[in-house]
Amino acid sequence: MTFDPAVAGAAALGCGVAGLGVPALVRRLPGPAGEVGAEPGLWWRGAALSASAGAVVGGCLGWDWALLVLLPLVPVQVALGLIDWHTHLLPTRLIWPSLAVAAVLACVAALADGDAATIIGAAVAGAASLVAFHALWWLHPAGMGYGDVRLATLVGFELGVLGTAEWLVGFYASFVLFALVGIGRAVRRRQRAALRDALPFGPFLLVGALGGIALAPHLALG
């Protein structure tokens, strides 16, 4: 699969413009999550991150029906990542509606593409993600919030639209990035105890998903 600059540019433009609405979306949330909407410069960070993510998704997939599922949710997931980074919270009122929208769009894409296996694969991937992350949360609730379980369900569904390879690589990349940043932080502080400091997992789930989209087509997964 080759990178398509035309689709990347169009997706970056669309997602970047939509990303300007991230502060308004965040401010509508109650509690600490909504307070993130007042952060200085959130408008340009939301736009830049949305445009960057859109470019990766669009460029890697090209003109594909999967864009119908993935691109509309980019600004919302950027908002989720920013909220989690600042507050270690992932608002349910953003995640479950996003999953519902993704499910509807996946059905539309499957019908348009004439491939019912797409929605089945996405549903299985989302359910598997929910079960796996719920198990991780149950085994070590202090190390993972339940918001991560919900977000993993959404991300798993989206990656499942693309295939098993993207799903596997995306989640693997999330854990690798999380570990590398945690270790890097401990090295920078020269404190082993820093490994036990809280680090939000949501942003790594989202960046890892982009890694799955970009890298999976180039990897041999048996």
d(CA 81, CA 15): 15
pLDDT digits (tens, 9 = 90+) for 126-181: 999 999 999 999 998 888 899 999 999 999 999 999 999 999 999 999 999 999 98
pLDDT digits (tens, 9 = 90+) for 65-87: 999 999 999 999 999 999 999 99
CA dist 205 → 13, 32, 155 (Å) = 23, 21, 8
* Cα angle for residues 163, 164, 167 (degrees, 5° grid): 95
Please state the pTM of the whole predicted model: 0.94
**Count of structural domains within the chain:** 1
d(CA 102, CA 71): 10
Determine the structural domain holding residue 112 and report its residue range.
5-218
